[in-house]
Amino acid sequence: MDRQLISLKFAMLRHTSAGMRPFGWAVGGVLVAATWAAVVFAAGDEVRSEVTMLLLAAWGVGAALGPVLTSGSGVLKPDYFALLPIERRVIGRGLLVSAFVGVASGYVLLATLATAVHAVWLSPATLLVAAVGAPLTWVLVITASRLVYGLLGAAMRSRFGVEIAAIQFGLMFAVMFTGWMVVQVAVQSVPALLGSGLPNGPITAVLGAFPTSWPVLAIESAAAGEWGVAALLLLALAAVDAVVVISGIALLSPRATTPSRGGRGRARSAGLVAGGGILPRTQLGAVIGKEMRQWTRDPWRSLEIRSGVWTGIAIGFFAWVSGIYAGISAFAGLIVAFMLGLAACNLYGQDGTAVWQNVVGQDKTSVRSDVRGRQWATILVFVPQAILISAIFLLLSQQFWALPTVLAAMPAVFGAASGAAVLVSALGVSPGVDPRMRVGPNDANGNISLHVWVVMVLIAVGVAPTGAAIVLSFASGLPWIVTVLVGFANGWLAAWLLGRVTIAWLTDRMPDVYSRIRYGRIFRAGDQRGILAWIERTTLRGEQRMQEQRQKAREERVKATS
Amino acid sequence: MCDARPLRHAGDMVSHTAPSSEPQFAFELDGLRREFSGKVAVDDVSLRVPHGSFYGLVGPNGAGKTTALSMAVGLLRPSAGTAYVQGIDVWRDPIGAKRRLGVLPDGLALPERLTGGELLTYWGRFRGLDASAVASRTEELLRVLELDEAERLGTLVGEYSTGMRKKIGLATALLHSPSVLVLDEPYEAVDPVSARVLTSILRRFTATGGSIVISSHVMSLVETLCDRVAIIAAGSVLADGTLDEVRAGGTLEDRFVELVGSTDLSDEELSWIGS
């Protein structure tokens, strides 16, 4: 059974596109090398001990959260086997065993073996302890990882799962945008860590309590001649392993579940359904209400918002702790406003085939209401979060000189971002997984590489007047109130103008938006000239090319396996 | 062929690029054709639906029913041909035509994260209905279609069963009180009790002069409900007319099999089943 499940896992991996997997493998390899290098180059036994424990704990946390970020292809789920006439525990065990076979698992094993370096330095005889401790740690980390994934599998539809994925995306974006700050901080702090270890305090005690640290402590006890203590530590680790393995098998055994009736047990928006609601009872109000609910309830869209917010937090935090760039952290809220542009650059794609409603419900004002409603909803959803993040980081960093700039830039960025996002959404519809089929927040876009660039350019151009006003206020003493007013006027104008262009574009083209989602192509006749038509064509071609590549890769895989 | 019944919304009549000066038909598919990458999915399909008629479009899976109806309601651009709703060209005057149309597509998403009530409220207000009318119609539709309990539990459309999805889809099609209903597989996965409710709603709709086109591959259903029928296979209309004209003395299923062909199971095939 175990062997069949392992083959099935590999078959599933073969039949899904590699996506980010090669990148992940490269990063994993670098991390293993960095782990070994850190342990080898740590100055002195005490520092090496702390560094090893810290890194093993990081591997444990990383392995627990890592699979959540990936779309989980190759992860076998208990439900697949629920109807097989096989003992449930056998399936549970097989599923757990299959988690140990793979590249990531191999990396974890290599990383845990870095304890051998510590053992060699202390006393080569303790290599025996390392040889037992490393596999035990490996079992713990991989089983715990599968356990967390299994538990989060259910939570992925909940706010908690979205939040965890959002933190990871936020960190990723933050590193992409301001990686240099991280590198600088790392360059400053890694030698300090490797030279003098962790700062004194409770952190070392807490770290020692982590089961991943016990092999390190066991090696040290053995080196000090206390072989009994070493054995006890290893036994304790084995006991923890046993507990997680038993829980893992229990969790992964398919269970007979009663079908849920869905829903949360009490009505939503009763006032709205009864004819009320706080929004205007108009076509525009209807779209704003629908969109705001989609933003907060759809896991994909929630993830977009929360990733934007966490990007702001991560950049603000990096800048704040770097010391040198503390001034930048005052602008963390602006990052959130900017991220609106990226989060909402595929609104129609996020709607999926539900766009049919916009086509059959078309009237004289429907396109305008739809575009404006979507703009208002994105702004209403993002603004409170951006204000909150701004306030927090202004207070933390104490960079109050930045306040007028933030006040002027915020409305400008919001206006330009909401306009850019809706325009690019209309031009470059990229269907992800259709809403009916979505299960997790990672069921997202197709190829949106061009979208991101167009949005960034539009935002940069769109906020230029405010940028000029800010420069003027610094250079020639233009009163701040004027700059702030320019920011508001600029934001309103950018949102209005880009929205206006979108409305004009979509008025006769709603069926084409639907066609791109439903059929992956456009059936409109006639040569279309101009920059907008170029963006439409290029994004469509990008999407089709991605589909072709997927198809080709699939065919090659089939050919290779047959 | 024309079954001249009184117009339901005579005041709504708009003279447009109609095939004739007086719109004889509530709904008309006129030479619709669609090719996908050189392959013809729908080939010159023309159908005429008289006022007050209950029209059934039957055909095997992949016959082109959904593609033809998608073109007819303005969702998919045709390679050639067009469609008219009460004489209004769907592709030349989409706004005028769509005001009169109620559509239930098959297999498409809805705003999945809304409850049924929220969806109807959004849809009613989006279609320009008065808020109080939206509220009363929403309440009534949810109650009649037995979706009110799901609403009380806060169930989202994405959590609905297939049958419930069909019902909420039908509610969206009916909400703005259209003159012509185009329903793609409306009875699929609907339980027998709800199917009776659905039938009485649709019968009342035609009794007041409204016209309905449904697609289905369940012959007995179409035979019970429809007064007119068209058989479509491989993108072409093989027969159309009144139910009696099409079935020509036999059952609709016999006629369908005669036109479309069937796969017979020989005694040797699958003989292991039940062994």
> Per the structure block, which two tokens stand in for B266?
């020989």
Q: Is the pLDDT of residue B2 over 50?
A: no
Asked if residues A410 and B87 have their Cβ atoms less than 8 Å apart, the reply is no
Pairwise CA distance, residues A122 & A498, whole Å: 67
Between CA A521 and CA A531, with CA A527 as vertex, the angle to 5 degrees is 85
Nearest to A518 by CA among A346, A352, A361: A352
Pairwise CA distance, residues A43 & A191, whole Å: 10
pTM (2 decimals)? 0.80
For β-strands B236-242 and B180-184, DSSP reports them as: unpaired
H or E element in which residue B50 lies:
strand B39-50
Answer yes or no: do B108 and A356 touch at CB < 8 A: yes
Q: Is the pLDDT of residue A72 over 60?
A: no
Q: How confident is the model at residue B218 (pLDDT cuts 50, 70, 90)?
A: confident
Residue with the larger pLDDT of the pair B205 and A10: B205
Answer yes or no: do B118 and A269 touch at CB < 8 A: yes
Cα distances from A93 to residues A5, A90, A99, A138, A248, in angstroms, run 10, 5, 10, 17, 8
What stretches of B28-161 show up as alpha helix (H) in DSSP? Answer: 65-72, 94-99, 116-126, 131-144, 148-152
Answer yes or no: do A354 and B109 touch at CB < 8 A: yes
- Beta bridge partners, B114, equal none
Nearest to B97 by CA among B78, B75, B79: B75
Interhelix angle A299-322/A366-397, rounded to 10 degrees, is 30
Please tell me which of the candidates B77, B79, B153 has its beta carbon nearest to residue A263: B153
Asked if residues A299 and A438 have their Cβ atoms less than 8 Å apart, the reply is yes
Nearest to B106 by CA among B145, B37, B57, B53: B57
Pairwise CA distance, residues B146 & B157, whole Å: 14
Answer yes or no: do B75 and A512 touch at CB < 8 A: no
Please tell me which of the candidates A267, A357, A363 has its beta carbon nearest to residue B95: A363
H or E element in which residue A348 lies:
helix A347-351
pLDDT by residue (tens digit) across A384-404?
Answer: 999 999 999 999 888 899 999
**Residue B8 pLDDT:** 37
Pairwise CA distance, residues A497 & A28, whole Å: 46
Cα distances from B266 to residues A289, A322, B260, B273, in angstroms, run 59, 79, 19, 13
Task: Provide the residue type at A83 as one letter.
Answer: L
**Best mean pLDDT range from A106-115, A192-201, B10-19:** A106-115
Tell which A residues from 486 to 515 touch B, by Cβ distance under 8 Å: 511-512, 514-515
In this prediction, residues B80-90 reach a mean pLDDT of: 96
Mean pLDDT of chain A: 86
Answer yes or no: do A283 and B126 touch at CB < 8 A: yes
Q: How confident is the model at residue B27 (pLDDT cuts 50, 70, 90)?
A: very high
pLDDT by residue (tens digit) across B37-79?
Answer: 889 999 999 999 999 999 999 998 889 999 999 999 999 999 9
Cβ neighbours of residue B63 under 8 Å, at least 6 residues apart? B232, B233, B234, B235
In this prediction, residues B265-273 reach a mean pLDDT of: 82
pLDDT by residue (tens digit) across A509-547?
Answer: 999 999 999 998 899 877 678 999 999 999 999 888 888
How many Å from the N-terminal Cα to the C-terminal Cα in chain B? 53
CA distance B201 to chain A (A): 22
Q: Is A275 touching B (CB cutoff 8 A)?
A: yes
Taking contacts as CB-CB distances below 8 angstroms, the residues of chain B near A548 are: none
| Burial call B62-79: b when 16+ CB within 10 Å, e when fewer | ebbbbbbbbbbbbbbbbb
Between CA A195 and CA A202, with CA A199 as vertex, the angle to 5 degrees is 145
Tell which B residues from 40 to 59 touch A, by Cβ distance under 8 Å: none
Cα distances from A47 to residues A53, A486, B119, B246, in angstroms, run 10, 55, 61, 89
> Per the structure block, which two tokens stand in for B271?
């003989």
Asked if residues B199 and B121 have their Cβ atoms less than 8 Å apart, the reply is no
Q: Is B28 touching A (CB cutoff 8 A)?
A: no
Q: Is B139 touching A (CB cutoff 8 A)?
A: yes
Residue of A nearest to B156 (CA): A263
Residue with the larger pLDDT of the pair B155 and A431: B155
Interface test with B, best of A357, A363, A528 (most B CBs within 10 A): A357
CA distance B251 to chain A (A): 35
Cβ neighbours of residue A393 under 8 Å, at least 6 residues apart? A316, A320, A329, A330, A331, A332, A333
In this prediction, residues B123-138 reach a mean pLDDT of: 96
Q: Is the pLDDT of residue A73 over 60?
A: no
> Per the structure block, which two tokens stand in for A228?
């009994």
For β-strands B180-184 and B101-104, DSSP reports them as: parallel
Residue of B nearest to A289 (CA): B122
For chain A, percent of residues with pLDDT exceeding 70: 88
Taking contacts as CB-CB distances below 8 angstroms, the residues of chain A near B153 are: 261-267
Query: What is residue B147's DSSP assignment?
Result: -
Taking contacts as CB-CB distances below 8 angstroms, the residues of chain A near B107 are: 353
Please tell me which of the candidates A275, A434, A438 has its beta carbon nearest to residue B131: A275
Q: What are phi and psi of A430, to 5 degrees?
A: -120, 105
> Per the structure block, which two tokens stand in for B72?
């007819």
Taking contacts as CB-CB distances below 8 angstroms, the residues of chain A near B93 are: none
**Residue A273 pLDDT:** 87
Please tell me which of the candidates B112, B128, B138 has its beta carbon nearest to residue A363: B128
Q: Is A259 touching B (CB cutoff 8 A)?
A: no
Taking contacts as CB-CB distances below 8 angstroms, the residues of chain A near B98 are: 360-363
Pairwise CA distance, residues A269 & B135, whole Å: 12
Pairwise CA distance, residues A516 & A535, whole Å: 14
Interface test with A, best of B32, B75, B90, B142 (most A CBs within 10 A): B75
Q: Is B1 helix (H, G, I), strand (E, B) or coil?
A: coil
**Residue B20 pLDDT:** 46
Q: How confident is the model at residue B217 (pLDDT cuts 50, 70, 90)?
A: confident
pLDDT by residue (tens digit) across B152-164?
Answer: 999 999 989 989 9
Taking contacts as CB-CB distances below 8 angstroms, the residues of chain A near B75 are: 356, 359-360, 511, 514, 518
CA distance B154 to chain A (A): 4
Answer yes or no: do A523 and B122 touch at CB < 8 A: no
For β-strands B54-58 and B228-233, DSSP reports them as: parallel
